Amino acid sequence: MKTATDTSGFEQHNHSHCINKALQEADLICQQKSLRLTPLRRQVLGYIWQSHKPLGAYTLLEMLAVSRAPGNNSRVAPPTVYRALEFLLEHGLIHRIASLNAYIGCCSPSDKHQSHFFICRHCNSTVELATPAISAAIAQSAKSTGFMVEDECVEIVGLCPQCQKINPDAAGDIE
């Protein structure tokens, strides 16, 4: 999982390694839990890992439609994609980015953890963070106010290193 000081998730790279690793981990997790990773669930997970940009359900629907074999006019219905996404979410293989109503692959699906993300406001590239201090601060604040946290997802919006290079004037906007 990425740490707060690791910006490698924002660098351009071949995503085939990310896809293969995610699918191997998904296969292993499903095998250990006696779950079924159907071809559609595999395909949706693969599409989600094609880039480090969150994808919405309707974008996934379009991608699935394009990937259909020539002559196969059957379309995947939205509920089918949502069921696949629910399965992947429930078993920690993906995360939901609430502010974008979109989904991104989980970097460490075998480890139970909270979701924290850096999201580039320009290109939508997203990096998952492993920063226990964020969860600790939330837990402490909740304890001091008597609030019971049921779920947490911290989304931090800004500019990735590449977008800062393209628009250096915008990099100083948030301080």
Tokens representing residue 68 in the block: 């259909």
Q: Establish if 1 belongs to a structural domain.
A: no
Q: Indicate the SS3 state at residue 37.
A: coil
107 is in an annotated binding site: no
120 is in an annotated binding site: yes
Q: Establish if 97 belongs to a structural domain.
A: yes
Q: Establish if 156 belongs to a structural domain.
A: yes
Amino acid at the residue 79: P
Sign of CA dihedral 79, 80, 83, 88: negative
Q: What is the pLDDT of residues 50-105, one digit of tens each?
A: 988 999 999 999 999 888 766 666 778 899 999 999 999 999 999 999 999 999 99
- What's the chain's length in residues? 175
Count of domains observed in the chain: 1
Q: Establish if 57 belongs to a structural domain.
A: yes
Q: Establish if 127 belongs to a structural domain.
A: yes
30 is in an annotated binding site: no
Q: Establish if 58 belongs to a structural domain.
A: yes
Angle formed by the axes of helices 78-90 and 57-67, nearest 10°: 110
Q: Establish if 2 belongs to a structural domain.
A: no
The domain of 52 spans 8-172
Neighbours of 65 (CB within 10 A): 13
Tokens representing residue 63 in the block: 């991608």
Q: Establish if 60 belongs to a structural domain.
A: yes
163 is in an annotated binding site: yes
CATH code of the domain containing 65? 1.10.10.10
Does the pLDDT at position 36 exceed 70?
yes
Q: What is the pLDDT of residues 102-142, one digit of tens each?
A: 999 998 898 888 889 999 999 999 999 878 899 999 999 99
